[in-house]
Amino acid sequence: MNEVLKIIHERRSVRDFKPDQIKEDDLKAILEAGRQAPSAWNRQPWYFTVVQKKSLLDKMVDSAKGALQKNPSEQIKSMPWLIAPNFHYFFNAPTVIFISGQNSVENASGDCAVALMNMYYAAQSLGLQACVVVTALSALSTESGPGFMKDLEIPEGYTPMYTLVVGYTSKPIPMAAPRKEDFVNFIK
């Protein structure tokens, strides 16, 4: 199996991180992998914000929990751990990359998702672990949201769409969940 396919098969969403910060060269390589992603009409409608300031991430988690506690959705009620006092939406990862999309680009979300996955695979190839997290973005829809946007230095005209938490894990990498067997239809 070639190296790219091996990384795709071995990639797992890890939700437990050591506090050790990732290496600067690894971070640069991850960001460059995102920058190299294909995009519709080569618009490259993404903007990456790297946050390694734990106090800011903790504030965002607290705000997001407050928002979710007020959310009457059955899905939220069925997952009480989401609002548990010790649960951290960023899983205490030392590095969180916010991927924002340009509002004026119609398919920015899809293009940003491709950049996100490039970064995910780059992290895996460098011996790091990662997980895509979107729950914490609910902090941006709270009263504190405009302040968080300012803290994150998100440029005007961009909206955060995804976050990628990155770091080292001390736990064994989980086994892959079974994959669907009937997932494709061939028409020849």
Structurally, what CATH architecture does the domain formed by 3-167 represent? 3-Layer(aba) Sandwich (3.40)
- Distance separating alpha carbons of residues 36 and 32, to the nearest angstrom: 6
Instruction: Write down the pLDDT at residue 51.
Output: 98
17-26, 27-36, 58-67, 126-135: least confident range = 58-67
- Cα–Cα nearest to 164, from 136, 126, 144: 136
**Residue 169 neighbours by CB under 8 Å, 6+ apart:** 14, 16, 17, 18, 129
CB 64 within 8 A of CB 138: yes
Q: CB-based contacts of 65: which residues, under 8 Å, 6+ apart? A: 82, 83, 87, 89
Quick one: pLDDT at residue 105?
97
Tokens of 77: 């009620």
Identify the pLDDT of residue 58. 94
CB 160 within 8 A of CB 100: yes
90-116: pLDDT as tens digits: 999 999 999 999 999 999 999 999 999
Domain parsing of the chain, residue ranges: 3-167
- Specify the pLDDT at position 133: 92
In what helix (H) or strand (E) does residue 76 lie, and over which residues does it extend? helix 74-77
More confident: 79 or 147: 147
- Stated pTM of the model: 0.92
Helix and strand counts by DSSP (H, E) for the chain? 6, 4
Report, as an integer, the average pLDDT of 117-126.
96
- Residue 93's nearest CA partner among 165, 161, 164, 22 is 165
Neighbours of 93 (CB within 10 A): 31
